[in-house]
Structure 1
Amino acid sequence: MTVKHLSVEYNKVNERGTFSPGDIIFGRVTVVTSKETKVQCFLVRAKGKAEVTWCEQEGQTTVVHRDKKKYFYFEHIILQDKKKGDGSEIIGPGRNVYPFTFEIPNTDMPSSYEGKWGKITYNLRAKLTQSIWLVYKTKTEFPFLTKSDFPFASKSEMIIVGLKEQQCATRISFFGSGKVTMNVTSEKMGVKQGEAVGVSVEVLNDSVRIVTPKFYLCEKQTFVAKSKRTVHTNDILFGTGDSVPAQTSRTITKVLSIPPQLPLTFFNCCMMKLEYRLKVTLDVPLARDPEIKLPLVILLGSPKPHQQKPKRSIWFRKLPG
Structure 2
Amino acid sequence: MSPIENLTLTFHKEDPFSEGDTIIGTVSFSLTKDTKIKSVSLKAKGDANVSWESGNTKYYGHWGYFKTKEYLVEKHPKGRLIPKGTYFLRFSFSLPHESMPSSFRENNRSIVYMLQVKITRPWKWSSYVHKEIDFVSRSILNISRVMCPQSGSVNKKVSKGQVQMSASVNRKVCSPGDTLSAYAKIYNSSTKSMRPKFSLLQKIEYRVKKKTKVKLKTLFKSVGDTTGPNTETTASCTMEIPTSAIYTINNCEIISVEYYLKVYLDISYTFDPEVVLPLIIVPSVSHQPCEELEPDQSGLIRSYRDVLALAVLLNLVETGSGVQEHPETEESQ
- TM-score interval w.r.t. the shorter chain? 0.7 to 0.9
**Unpaired segments of 5 or more residues in structure 2?**
290-333
In structure 2, relative to structure 1, the CA distance for the partners of 1:147 and 1:183 (3 Å cut) is: closer
In structure 2, relative to structure 1, the CA distance for the partners of 1:116 and 1:173 (3 Å cut) is: farther
TM-score, length-scaled by structure 1: 0.75
- The residue type paired with residue 222 of structure 1 is E
Instruction: Kindly state the Cα deviation for residue 109 of structure 1 after the two structures are TM-superposed.
Output: 1.9
- The residue type paired with residue 10 of structure 1 is F
Q: Which residue of 2 aligns with 1:29?
A: 27
**1:218 has 2:207 as partner:** no
- The residue type paired with residue 164 of structure 1 is C
**How far apart in 2 are the matches of 1:133 and 1:55?**
39
Q: Deviations over 1:12-68 (max 9, x none)?
A: 17xxx01122222111122233222223332221212222222222xxx32233222
* Residue from 151, 155, 165 that aligns with 1:167: 151
Instruction: Kindly state the Cα deviation for residue 301 of structure 1 after the two structures are TM-superposed.
Output: 3.0
Higher share of residues assigned strand = 1
Q: Which residue of 2 aligns with 1:312?
A: none
**How far apart in 1 are the matches of 2:81 and 2:224?**
70
Q: Kindly indicate whether the alpha-carbon contact (under 8 Å) linking 2:115 and 2:132 is maintained by their aligned counterparts in 1.
A: yes
* Residue from 46, 68, 76 that aligns with 2:71: 76
**Amino-acid identity (%):** 27
Higher share of residues assigned helix = 2
- The residue type paired with residue 112 of structure 1 is S
**1:5 has 2:6 as partner:** yes
**1:229 has 2:212 as partner:** yes
Q: Which residue of 1 aligns with 2:301?
A: none
**How far apart in 2 are the matches of 1:271 and 1:165?**
30
Segments of 4+ moved more than 6 angstroms: none
**How far apart in 2 are the matches of 1:254 and 1:282?**
14
Deviates more, 1:48-57 or 1:282-291: 282-291
Matches within 5 A, 1:306-317: none
Instruction: Kindly state the Cα deviation for residue 192 of structure 1 after the two structures are TM-superposed.
Output: 4.6
- The residue type paired with residue 219 of structure 1 is Q
* Residue from 62, 70, 89 that aligns with 1:98: 89
**Unpaired segments of 5 or more residues in structure 1?**
153-158, 307-321
- The residue type paired with residue 174 of structure 1 is V
Q: Deviations over 1:127-183 (max 9, x none)?
A: 22335552222211111222336889xxxxxx9xx98353122142635x8765433
Matches within 5 A, 1:27-66: 27-57=25-55, 61-66=56-61
- The residue type paired with residue 27 of structure 1 is G
Q: Kindly indicate whether the alpha-carbon contact (under 8 Å) linking 2:39 and 2:71 is maintained by their aligned counterparts in 1.
A: no
Count of residues in Structure 1 that have an aligned counterpart in Structure 2: 288
Secondary structure, counterpart of 2:204 in structure 1 = strand
